[in-house]
């Protein structure tokens, strides 16, 4: 009888508020990925890969929101890049944004699985002074939490 009661408790059909999961609806969708250090292996425009460290932190924007630090090894952005986790918790979207309010923009998509973020994104930036045209670089990165 006790086993049946516990099973019923964990398999309840309670609908969770958007952005929350688990039987008690107390864990945010972003929780498995936030506040962790990652080793990032990344390549730009299909050049040789390089490695650096980064973190993913929570954002005050809600249970779907995350912030990525040190994106592209900090070359283009001083501030964090904002991302949104999907309702199922298995993808990340970086909407087009300008984190430093300068001429550099980023956008991208990624998948989340077992503490690994596979992220593809582009950064558009002025090619050279005096900003004659814009260059877009394509990045592929794998963020792994040890």
Q: pLDDT, tens digit, for every residue of 28-73?
A: 888 888 888 899 999 999 899 999 999 999 888 888 899 999 999 9
How far is residue 37's CA from residue 143's CA, in Å, rounded to a whole number?
9
Q: Which domains, from first to last, does the chain contain?
A: 30-144 (2.40.128)
Least confident of 4-8, 77-81, 92-96, 124-128: 4-8
pTM of the complete model: 0.80
């Amino acid at each position: 009888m006790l086993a049946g009661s516990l099973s019923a408790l964990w398999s309840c059909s309670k609908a969770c508020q958007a952005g929350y999961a688990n039987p008690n609806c107390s864990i945010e969708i972003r929780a498995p990925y936030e506040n962790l250090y990652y080793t990032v292996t990344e390549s730009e425009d299909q050049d040789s890969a390089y490695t650096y460290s980064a973190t993913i932190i929570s954002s005050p924007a809600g249970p779907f929101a995350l912030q990525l630090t040190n994106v592209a090894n900090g070359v283009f952005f001083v501030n964090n890049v904002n991302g949104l986790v999907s309702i199922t918790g298995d993808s990340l979207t970086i909407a087009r944004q300008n984190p430093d309010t300068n001429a550099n923009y980023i956008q991208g998509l990624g998948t989340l699985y077992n503490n690994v973020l596979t992220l593809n994104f582009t950064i558009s930036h002025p090619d050279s002074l005096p900003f004659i045209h814009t260059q877009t670089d394509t990045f592929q990165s794998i963020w792994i939490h040890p």
